[in-house]
Amino acid sequence: MIIRFTKKVQDKFKWKQLKPIAESNLSNEWYVNQFTANRHKYYLATHAESLFSVIFRGVGIKTDREFMDRMIEAWKYQVSNEGLETVVNNLLVPLTKEILITSTLNRRILGSMSDMIKMTEFILADGDNTEDSSPFALSEFLNKTPFSYIGMDRPKDRIAKYS
Protein backbone atom coordinates (compact mmCIF):
# COMPACT_ATOMS: atom_id res chain seq x y z
CA MET A 1 0.00 0.00 0.00
CA ILE A 2 1.30 3.42 -0.90
CA ILE A 3 -0.06 6.34 1.08
CA ARG A 4 0.61 9.74 -0.44
CA PHE A 5 0.49 12.67 1.99
CA THR A 6 0.02 16.29 1.03
CA LYS A 7 2.53 18.85 2.28
CA LYS A 8 0.11 19.91 5.03
CA VAL A 9 -0.09 16.39 6.45
CA GLN A 10 3.67 15.89 6.11
CA ASP A 11 4.22 19.06 8.14
CA LYS A 12 1.76 17.85 10.81
CA PHE A 13 3.82 14.71 11.40
CA LYS A 14 7.14 16.51 10.91
CA TRP A 15 8.26 14.41 7.97
CA LYS A 16 11.03 16.35 6.25
CA GLN A 17 11.89 14.85 2.89
CA LEU A 18 9.75 11.91 1.86
CA LYS A 19 11.32 9.92 -0.96
CA PRO A 20 9.12 10.17 -4.05
CA ILE A 21 7.75 6.89 -5.38
CA ALA A 22 6.58 6.73 -8.98
CA GLU A 23 2.96 5.85 -9.68
CA SER A 24 2.58 2.21 -10.57
CA ASN A 25 -0.85 0.78 -9.83
CA LEU A 26 -3.46 3.28 -8.61
CA SER A 27 -5.47 0.52 -6.95
CA ASN A 28 -2.66 0.26 -4.37
CA GLU A 29 -2.52 3.99 -3.58
CA TRP A 30 -4.29 6.30 -1.19
CA TYR A 31 -4.02 10.10 -1.02
CA VAL A 32 -4.43 11.95 2.28
CA ASN A 33 -5.20 15.61 2.86
CA GLN A 34 -6.10 17.62 5.95
CA PHE A 35 -8.59 20.45 6.32
CA THR A 36 -10.25 22.50 9.02
CA ALA A 37 -13.97 23.26 9.16
CA ASN A 38 -15.89 24.84 12.04
CA ARG A 39 -12.67 24.84 14.07
CA HIS A 40 -12.35 21.04 13.80
CA LYS A 41 -9.49 19.26 12.04
CA TYR A 42 -10.46 16.57 9.55
CA TYR A 43 -8.56 14.17 7.34
CA LEU A 44 -9.70 13.07 3.90
CA ALA A 45 -8.28 9.70 2.74
CA THR A 46 -9.04 8.86 -0.88
CA HIS A 47 -8.41 5.66 -2.83
CA ALA A 48 -6.54 6.83 -5.94
CA GLU A 49 -8.19 4.58 -8.53
CA SER A 50 -11.83 4.83 -7.42
CA LEU A 51 -11.86 8.13 -5.46
CA PHE A 52 -13.69 6.24 -2.68
CA SER A 53 -13.07 8.46 0.34
CA VAL A 54 -13.38 8.58 4.08
CA ILE A 55 -13.43 11.62 6.30
CA PHE A 56 -12.45 11.33 9.93
CA ARG A 57 -11.71 13.78 12.69
CA GLY A 58 -8.13 14.52 13.63
CA VAL A 59 -8.74 14.99 17.34
CA GLY A 60 -6.38 12.91 19.46
CA ILE A 61 -4.07 11.91 16.63
CA LYS A 62 -0.54 12.72 17.69
CA THR A 63 1.58 10.09 15.97
CA ASP A 64 1.72 8.62 12.50
CA ARG A 65 0.85 5.18 13.96
CA GLU A 66 -2.35 6.57 15.54
CA PHE A 67 -3.15 8.19 12.22
CA MET A 68 -2.68 4.95 10.25
CA ASP A 69 -4.81 2.96 12.69
CA ARG A 70 -7.61 5.54 12.56
CA MET A 71 -7.49 5.80 8.77
CA ILE A 72 -7.65 2.03 8.23
CA GLU A 73 -10.46 1.61 10.77
CA ALA A 74 -12.45 4.49 9.21
CA TRP A 75 -11.96 2.99 5.77
CA LYS A 76 -13.08 -0.48 6.91
CA TYR A 77 -16.13 0.99 8.66
CA GLN A 78 -17.15 3.09 5.63
CA VAL A 79 -16.76 0.24 3.13
CA SER A 80 -18.61 -2.22 5.37
CA ASN A 81 -21.51 0.19 5.89
CA GLU A 82 -21.81 0.60 2.12
CA GLY A 83 -22.49 -3.16 1.96
CA LEU A 84 -19.07 -3.90 0.45
CA GLU A 85 -17.47 -6.02 3.19
CA THR A 86 -15.66 -8.19 0.64
CA VAL A 87 -13.72 -5.12 -0.54
CA VAL A 88 -12.00 -5.00 2.85
CA ASN A 89 -10.77 -8.60 2.41
CA ASN A 90 -9.98 -8.34 -1.30
CA LEU A 91 -8.33 -4.92 -1.40
CA LEU A 92 -7.45 -3.46 1.96
CA VAL A 93 -6.25 -6.38 4.10
CA PRO A 94 -3.63 -7.71 1.62
CA LEU A 95 -2.20 -4.22 1.11
CA THR A 96 -1.77 -3.32 4.79
CA LYS A 97 1.07 -5.84 5.17
CA GLU A 98 3.51 -3.35 3.67
CA ILE A 99 2.81 0.38 3.87
CA LEU A 100 4.98 2.93 2.09
CA ILE A 101 4.61 6.63 2.84
CA THR A 102 5.46 9.23 0.22
CA SER A 103 4.44 12.58 -1.24
CA THR A 104 1.60 13.24 -3.68
CA LEU A 105 2.04 13.13 -7.44
CA ASN A 106 -1.26 13.09 -9.32
CA ARG A 107 -2.69 16.60 -9.58
CA ARG A 108 -5.98 15.30 -10.99
CA ILE A 109 -6.61 13.26 -7.84
CA LEU A 110 -5.64 16.26 -5.70
CA GLY A 111 -8.07 18.43 -7.69
CA SER A 112 -10.90 15.97 -7.04
CA MET A 113 -9.97 15.95 -3.36
CA SER A 114 -10.08 19.77 -3.31
CA ASP A 115 -13.61 19.56 -4.72
CA MET A 116 -14.52 17.05 -2.00
CA ILE A 117 -13.15 19.35 0.69
CA LYS A 118 -15.11 22.34 -0.68
CA MET A 119 -18.34 20.29 -0.71
CA THR A 120 -17.66 19.11 2.83
CA GLU A 121 -16.91 22.63 4.09
CA PHE A 122 -20.13 23.88 2.50
CA ILE A 123 -22.20 21.18 4.24
CA LEU A 124 -20.48 21.78 7.57
CA ALA A 125 -20.93 25.56 7.28
CA ASP A 126 -24.68 25.07 6.86
CA GLY A 127 -24.78 23.23 10.20
CA ASP A 128 -28.57 22.80 10.30
CA ASN A 129 -28.56 19.04 10.59
CA THR A 130 -25.79 17.57 12.72
CA GLU A 131 -26.73 14.02 11.64
CA ASP A 132 -25.90 14.91 8.02
CA SER A 133 -22.61 16.48 9.07
CA SER A 134 -21.02 13.49 10.79
CA PRO A 135 -17.79 12.30 9.16
CA PHE A 136 -19.56 9.08 8.18
CA ALA A 137 -22.47 10.91 6.51
CA LEU A 138 -20.10 13.28 4.73
CA SER A 139 -18.07 10.34 3.42
CA GLU A 140 -21.25 8.63 2.28
CA PHE A 141 -22.30 11.79 0.41
CA LEU A 142 -18.92 12.09 -1.33
CA ASN A 143 -18.96 8.44 -2.38
CA LYS A 144 -22.33 8.91 -4.09
CA THR A 145 -21.16 12.01 -5.99
CA PRO A 146 -20.01 11.59 -9.64
CA PHE A 147 -16.52 12.89 -10.46
CA SER A 148 -15.07 13.70 -13.87
CA TYR A 149 -11.73 12.08 -12.97
CA ILE A 150 -13.46 8.69 -13.01
CA GLY A 151 -15.66 9.35 -16.05
CA MET A 152 -18.61 10.74 -14.07
CA ASP A 153 -18.89 7.47 -12.16
CA ARG A 154 -19.59 7.41 -8.45
CA PRO A 155 -16.73 6.29 -6.17
CA LYS A 156 -19.07 3.79 -4.49
CA ASP A 157 -19.68 2.09 -7.86
CA ARG A 158 -15.98 2.11 -8.73
CA ILE A 159 -14.84 0.52 -5.46
CA ALA A 160 -17.50 -2.19 -5.81
CA LYS A 161 -15.44 -3.83 -8.57
CA TYR A 162 -13.09 -5.11 -5.82
CA SER A 163 -15.94 -7.18 -4.31
Task: Please list the rounded mean pLDDT of every run of 10 residues in the chain (163 residues).
Answer: 92 84 90 93 95 94 89 89 82 76 93 96 77 87 96 95 85
Angle ∠(15,21,26) on CA atoms, nearest 5: 115
Q: Does residue 37 sit in helix, strand or coil?
A: strand
pLDDT at position 126, please?
A: 76
Cα Rg for the chain, rounded, in angstroms? 15
Specify the DSSP element, H or E, that contains 31: strand 29-37
Give the pLDDT of residue 152.
Answer: 96
| Nearest-angstrom CA–CA distance, 15 and 99 | 16
What pLDDT score does 33 carry? Answer: 97
Question: What pLDDT, on a 0 to 100 scale, did the predictor assign at position 63?
Answer: 87
- pLDDT given at position 129: 58
112 neighbors 149 (Cβ within 8 angstroms): yes
The pLDDT assigned to 44 comes to 98
> Which of 54, 51, 53 shows the shortest CA–CA distance to 26?
51
How confident is the model at residue 128, as a pLDDT? Answer: 62
Closest CA to 138 of 28, 43, 68, 4: 43
C-alpha distances (whole Å) from 17 to each of 8, 9, 103, 110 are 13, 13, 9, 20
For residue 72, what pLDDT is reported?
87
